[in-house]
Structures are given as C-alpha cells and as structure tokens.
Amino acid sequence: MRVLSIILILLAALAALFLVDRLGLWAERRGWIYWRKRKSSSNALGSITLELQTLFESGKARHVIEAKREPKKDTPDPGSGSA
C-alpha cells in the first residue's frame, strides 16, 4: 500500500511538471515570458544588472553605465603599428 501511494505521488508530480511546462510554453507564445524556445539576450540581462547596481552603489557604477550608453567610437588599435 505504501509503494502504491509513493508511485501515485510521483505520477502526480510528473503531471504537475508537465502542466507547468505547457503553461510556460503558452505564456511564451503570448510573449509574456521566455520559457524554452526563445532566449533573452545577455545584453538585456547585463543592462538590468547594471541598473540594479546603480540603485545600490550609485556613485561607483555610474561611469560604467554612462560608458555603455555612449555610442561606440572607432578607435585605432594600439597594436596595429600605424601612427
């Protein structure tokens, strides 16, 4: 009897995980979350991390965020040998 109840609990847990996965895929199709099919860009994650860091360490990370937001400039490679 005890083995049967353990098997039923495991089957119920697997069914619940399957339903959560299907719900996640449905929400991903609607564009609400990133679940399995689409991945968020690491650049977005980095930007969120920097913004959170400015909340906690406002003076330290401000220059990093300002540098990230500035458009990139074409600078010559210092090792290229052209002067």
List, for residues 1-13, the tens digit of each pLDDT value: 799 999 999 999 9
For the stretch 31-47, pLDDT in tens is 888 888 766 555 666 77
**Model's pTM, two decimal places?**
0.44
Query: What are the boundaries of each domain within the chain?
Result: 1-37, 40-71
For residue 67, CA distances in Å to 6, 11, 21, 51, 70 come to 57, 53, 40, 13, 5
Q: What is the pLDDT of residues 63-76, one digit of tens each?
A: 666 776 676 666 66
Q: Can you tell me the distance from the alpha carbon of 18 to that of 9, in angstroms, rounded to the nearest whole number? A: 14
In sequence order, the 6+-apart residues with CB closer than 8 A to the CB of 60 are: 53
